[in-house]
């Protein structure tokens, strides 16, 4: 169908403000999320830039200590709660899950809109907290500092994070019900794209773990505001209890962030090798294995918190086990390339970047799971480097890769390929320059959350700050050329990549109802080849 | 052996932790090279040659799946076991370790040696002797970290945590607080000085006239706080005899038994009503707010030293 013959799509169906703010179309809601989380991404990024600027020199010369402490706290809170957790699921998941399973919308379109409003309210409260003085507890809110000693706007921030949690719970519920109930005829579980499997696993965690965070934050609020002794030892409370509750959510939250990106990876590897994902069932089930095991490893954040060494031992062994399904995924993605037809468009460059960074991020997790080594590197820059490799290297590479891959579908426009390739390169190089030195700093003993540091750490900190400026450009470029493409980009055909999947069978951008008729699915996901090769294992 | 980008190895455990570290580094490099290599070779070898090329489908290979599940599993279990063995060694201080008392507060480390000598943000220790730090906090969480020794332990208000090491190299090393604790967190740093045993003794003795050994300070407190009024091991004493109770089981009024350890004694002083000894009335007043963490440690040291056969604690002057 040529462009003039296209039907009215979800973007030009109506133009009023209320048609956006009261929309129940999952695709428009995805756009609402895209805009809001992008704002928070750049706010969080600004904080990061200021942090890296301060750390250029050992002395605390740019900011006062209190200001610096607020900067890293806000960087963490904004990036984790208001960007990373919603990123892939709320934008790409929202847009694609119904289409990928052949449905016209999510199971509860109104609740989907409600999730966005809840997110906005939570995020606004947190922004207010920033404006009335900020918070300096670290994103971890450890007690009793957060409940008794901090002078920041802790209560307001907690209320913001608490409320945002409900957005996540509702989104998770919506996805679970949608994936169970709304699959098109013939779309069996093992014909689902792996992106959908990954979101299924993610939704389970969102629904089961987020309430625990909510209750931890609620208790924290009670102690801070009403001085009810829960965590403060002076009031008979237990400060370490908070850590258990916090990590019971926040470790699984790492998987809330990374699993959806892994789902994106599977789509990218399949599309740009024109092949079925090697070991599809193993990749699908490894998402579930990660989701389940991920609930039982929280104590690896507490090896030196005085928890019993036998408890530590159990958390250690489980942490090693949870690494295995991730390794399985990485091997299967690599094997997918074998005898494929590989092209190097930008999304695939991001996929290579993901593999590159996630491999290092995942393997460095082994150091932290090993109790004896963790004693030394816990709460140093080693940990900072590790989780940035996972959460920025992994999650963000997946998010950006996915955004490039589906951009033509979402907007109906092609982005400029050369610029995009440049940005992928800058992100990869800048990222490694920023965070690799931090592994070394960590093993050398530099603690995290330090405003000032001894001089011997300066050289590596300067490398890191230089890398961050490259990384910053790498992240800024897409903002520019994506916006540019909305007006000047070439119009995209329905399937610019020659990829498989229901989303590529409908026009770009899709109509409001995605499908005129519910499709009937007759083949597995990624059925690029007409018939199976003889390589069946 | 000093590995690049690492602090000096200045304790008995540092070498074993570095050895595990190097092992994991080797495994990391191997698997990183493997994955990068596979991806690079495949990506070049199988690059798309014509726009409409469609390769054959490969479903998978169960043998491969098992291989790349089992091999990483085995390797990671070797890390687990090695790491756990070393950690257990680290988690159990030797019996003969010399104790040093550490109190963290925003934003300084207050340290007292058994001889009574005090220092702030500095820790002098003898070489080749196991040392155990008994630590607590007056306010928020802190964490006591000596990179050159590869040891770290959280310092928690309301609890005692301990950390031990045996220094093996003379010199001065960084001491950092690694648990975020507010404004001056990055200023809560200091130095650990490893001295020869003779120099340590000499150092302890400098200004020794002003130093009261920790148990003696405890004894003085026991007098001035009127503990001895009730705990005087006399026949009609209001409180139980404290001689020899340390480390022994105590029968409580609610029928349970607890061991009289640091935690129990601390609680007896601050919240006596929580754990009432069987056969006694809950008469003891709470000393919350009257004694600081250092004084509680001193009282505990004093009680610890009371032997079954010790002379009755001297009755206080204000006895009625
Ligand atoms: Cu974790
Ligand atoms: Cu601190």
Measured CA to CA, the distance from residue A250 to residue B73 in angstroms comes to: 25
Residue with tokens 């706290």: A73
pLDDT tens sequence across A275-315: 999 999 999 999 999 999 999 999 999 999 988 999 999 99
Q: What is the pLDDT of residue A396?
A: 94
Does residue B222 share a domain with residue B198? Answer: no
Segment A193-209 shows an average pLDDT of: 95
Q: Residue B307: is it exposed, middle or buried by C-beta count within 10 angstroms (0-12/13-18/19+)?
A: exposed
Tell me, what's the pLDDT at A533? 45
Same domain, B139 and B226: no
**pLDDT tens-digit map of A129-176:** 988 888 999 999 999 999 999 988 999 999 999 999 999 999 999 999
Asked whether the beta carbons of A341 and B54 are under 8 A apart, the reply is yes
- Both tokens of B174, joined, read 């960084």
Same domain, B227 and B287: yes
Distance from CA of B221 to the nearest CA of A (A): 22
- In terms of CA atoms, which chain A residue is nearest residue B73? A324
pLDDT at A2 exceeding the cut of 50 = no
Quote ipTM for the complex. 0.92
The mean pLDDT value of chain A amounts to 93
Does A527 contact B at CB distance below 8 Å? Answer: yes
Q: And the tokens for A95? A: 């847009």
Q: How many residues does chain B have?
A: 320
CB < 8 Å to B180, chain A: 69, 137-138, 140, 142, 145, 448-449
Reported CATH class of domain A25-505: mainly alpha
SS3 at position B11: strand
Domain that holds residue B297: 214-304
Helix and strand numbers, DSSP H then E, in chain B: 7, 12
For residue B186, the domain's CATH number is: 2.60.40.420
pLDDT at position A182, please? 95
Asked if residue A372 has pLDDT above 70, the reply is: yes
- How far B136 CA sits from the closest chain A CA (Å)? 12
Which residue of chain B comes nearest to A145, CA vs CA?
B140
Q: Could you tell me if B186 and B279 lie in one domain?
A: no
Interface subset of B 190-249, CB within 8 angstroms of A: none
pLDDT at A537 over 80: no
pLDDT score of A52 more than 50:
yes
The contacts found for B95-99 with CB under 8 angstroms, 24 or more apart, are B96/B130, B97/B130, B97/B131, B97/B132, B97/B164, B98/B126, B98/B129, B98/B130, B98/B131, B98/B132, B99/B131, B99/B132, B99/B133, B99/B134
Looking only at the bridges linking them, the beta strands covering B108-112 and B98-105 are antiparallel
Query: What was the pLDDT predicted at B313?
Result: 47
Q: How far apart are CA B48 and CA A497, in angstroms?
A: 13
Residue B291, chain A, CB below 8 Å: the answer is no
Strand partners, B119: B111
**Residue B53 domain flag:** no
The answer to whether position B185 is within a domain reads: yes
Answer whether residue B318 shows pLDDT above 80.
no
Burial class (CB in 10 A: 0-12, 13-18, 19+), A455: exposed
Ligand closest to CA B189? 2
Q: Are residues B204 and B225 in the same domain?
A: no
Query: What is the least distance, in Å, from the CA of A321 to any CA of chain B?
Result: 7
Taking each helix axis from N to C terminus, what angle separates A458-488 and A417-444, rounded to the nearest 10 degrees? 160
Question: pLDDT confidence of B1, banded at 50, 70, 90?
Answer: low
- Residues of chain B found within 8 Å of residue A224, distances taken between Cβ atoms: none
B42, part of any domain:
no
Chain B neighbors of A370, CB-CB under 8 A: 20, 24, 79-80, 82-83
Would you state the structure tokens that stand for residue B272, as one six-digit string? 């006596």
Strand runs labelled E in B178-316: 190-195, 249-251, 257-259
Q: Return the number of CB contacts < 8 Å for A and B.
A: 299
Say if residue B46 is preceded by a cis peptide, omega within 30 of 0.
no
* One domain, residues B186 and B255: no
Confidence of residue A488 (pLDDT cuts 50, 70, 90): very high
Closest CA to A49 of A434, A429, A465: A465
Q: Give me the pLDDT at residue B273, please.
A: 86
C-alpha of A294 from chain center: 16
What is the Cα–Cα distance from A420 to A401, expressed in whole angstroms?
Answer: 10
Is B170 within the bounds of a domain? yes
Regarding whether B168 and B260 lie in a shared domain, the answer is no
Give the model's confidence band at B319: pLDDT under 50 very low, under 70 low, under 90 confident, else very high.
very low
Domain ranges of chain A: 25-505
Task: Report the pLDDT value the prediction gives residue A531, as an integer from 0 to 100.
Answer: 53
| CATH code of residue B286 | 1.10.760.10
- Domain count of chain B? 2
Q: How far apart are CA A496 and CA A489, in angstroms?
A: 13
Which structure tokens are listed for A164? 């945002």
User: What length is written for chain A?
Assistant: 537
Beta-sheet pairing, B171-177 with B118-120: unpaired
């Amino acid at each position: 169908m040529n462009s003039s013959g296209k039907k009215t799509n979800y973007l030009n169906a109506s133009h009023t403000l209320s048609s956006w703010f009261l929309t129940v179309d999952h695709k428009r809601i995805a756009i609402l999320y895209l805009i809001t989380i992008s704002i928070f991404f750049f706010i969080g990024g600004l904080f990061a830039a200021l942090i890296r600027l301060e750390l250029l020199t050992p002395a605390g010369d740019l900011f006062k200590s209190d200001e610096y402490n607020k900067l890293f706290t806000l960087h963490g809170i904004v990036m984790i709660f208001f960007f990373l957790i919603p990123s892939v699921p709320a934008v790409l998941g929202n847009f694609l899950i119904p289409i990928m399973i052949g449905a016209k919308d999510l199971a509860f379109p109104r609740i989907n809109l409600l999730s966005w409003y809840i997110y906005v309210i939570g995020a606004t409260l947190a922004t207010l907290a920033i404006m009335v003085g900020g918070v300096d507890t670290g994103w971890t809110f450890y007690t009793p500092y957060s409940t008794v000693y901090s002078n920041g706007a802790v209560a307001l921030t907690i209320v913001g994070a608490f409320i945002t949690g409900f957005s996540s719970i509702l989104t998770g519920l919506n996805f679970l019900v949608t994936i169970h109930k709304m699959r098109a005829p013939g779309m069996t579980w093992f014909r689902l794209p792996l992106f959908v499997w990954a979101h299924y696993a993610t939704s389970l965690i969102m629904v089961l773990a987020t309430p625990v965070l909510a209750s931890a934050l609620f208790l924290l609020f009670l102690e801070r505001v009403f001085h009810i002794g829960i965590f403060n030892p002076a009031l008979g409370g237990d400060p370490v209890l908070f850590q258990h509750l916090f990590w019971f959510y926040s470790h699984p939250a790492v998987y809330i962030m990374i699993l959806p990106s892994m789902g994106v990876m599977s789509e990218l590897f399949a599309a740009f090798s024109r092949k079925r994902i090697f070991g599809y069932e193993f990749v699908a089930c490894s998402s579930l294995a990660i989701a389940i095991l991920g609930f039982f490893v929280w104590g690896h954040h507490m090896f030196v918190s005085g928890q019993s060494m036998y408890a530590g031992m159990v958390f250690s062994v489980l942490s090693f086990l949870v690494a295995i399904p991730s390794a399985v995924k990485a091997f299967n993605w690599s094997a997918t390339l074998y005898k494929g037809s590989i092209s190097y468009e930008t999304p695939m460059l991001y996929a290579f970047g993901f593999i590159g960074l996630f491999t290092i991020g995942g393997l460095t997790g082994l150091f932290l799971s090993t109790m004896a080594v963790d004693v030394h590197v816990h709460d140093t820059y080693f940990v900072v480097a590790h989780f940035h490799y996972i959460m920025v290297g992994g999650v963000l590479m997946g998010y950006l890769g996915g955004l490039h891959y589906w951009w033509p579908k979402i907007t109906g426009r092609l982005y400029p390929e050369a610029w995009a390739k440049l940005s992928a390169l800058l992100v990869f190089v800048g990222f490694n320059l920023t965070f690799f030195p931090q592994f070394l700093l960590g093993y050398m003993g530099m603690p995290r959350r330090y405003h000032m540091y001894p001089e011997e750490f300066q050289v590596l900190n300067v490398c890191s700050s230089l890398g961050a400026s490259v990384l910053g450009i790498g992240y800024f470029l897409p903002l520019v050329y994506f916006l540019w493409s909305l007006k000047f980009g070439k119009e995209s055909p329905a399937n610019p990549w020659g990829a498989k999947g229901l989303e590529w069978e409908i026009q770009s951008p899709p109509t409001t109802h995605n499908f005129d008729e519910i499709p009937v699915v007759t083949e597995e996901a990624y059925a690029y080849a007409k018939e199976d090769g003889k390589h069946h294992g | 052996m000093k590995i690049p980008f690492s602090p000096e190895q200045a304790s008995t455990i540092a070498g074993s932790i570095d050895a595990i570290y190097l092992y994991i580094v080797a495994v990391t490099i191997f698997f990183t090279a493997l994955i990068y290599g596979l991806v690079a070779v495949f990506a070049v070898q199988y690059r798309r040659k014509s726009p409409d090329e469609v390769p054959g489908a490969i479903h998978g290979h169960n043998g491969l799946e098992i291989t790349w599940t089992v091999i990483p599993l085995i390797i990671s279990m070797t890390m687990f076991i090695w790491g756990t063995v070393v950690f257990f060694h680290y988690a159990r201080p030797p019996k003969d370790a010399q104790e040093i008392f550490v109190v963290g507060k925003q934003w300084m480390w207050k340290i007292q040696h058994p001889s009574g000598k005090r220092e702030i943000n500095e820790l002098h220790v003898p070489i080749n002797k196991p040392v155990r730090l008994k630590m607590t906090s007056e306010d928020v969480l802190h964490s006591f970290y000596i990179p050159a020794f590869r040891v770290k332990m959280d310092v928690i208000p309301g609890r005692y945590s301990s950390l031990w090491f045996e220094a093996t190299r003379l010199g001065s090393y960084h001491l950092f607080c690694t648990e975020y604790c507010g404004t001056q967190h990055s200023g809560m740093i200091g130095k650990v000085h490893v001295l020869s045993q003779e120099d340590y003794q000499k150092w302890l003795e400098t200004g020794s006239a002003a130093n009261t050994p920790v148990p003696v300070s405890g004894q003085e407190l026991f007098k001035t706080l009127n503990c001895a009024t009730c705990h005087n091991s006399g026949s009609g004493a209001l409180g139980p005899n404290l001689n020899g109770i340390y480390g022994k089981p105590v029968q409580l009024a609610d029928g349970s038994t607890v061991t009289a350890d640091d935690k129990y004694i601390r609680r007896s002083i601050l919240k006596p009503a929580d754990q009432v000894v069987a056969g006694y009335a809950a008469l003891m007043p709470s000393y919350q707010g009257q004694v600081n963490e250092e004084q509680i440690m001193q009282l505990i040291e004093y009680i610890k030293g009371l032997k079954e056969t010790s002379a009755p604690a001297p009755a206080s002057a204000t006895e009625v």
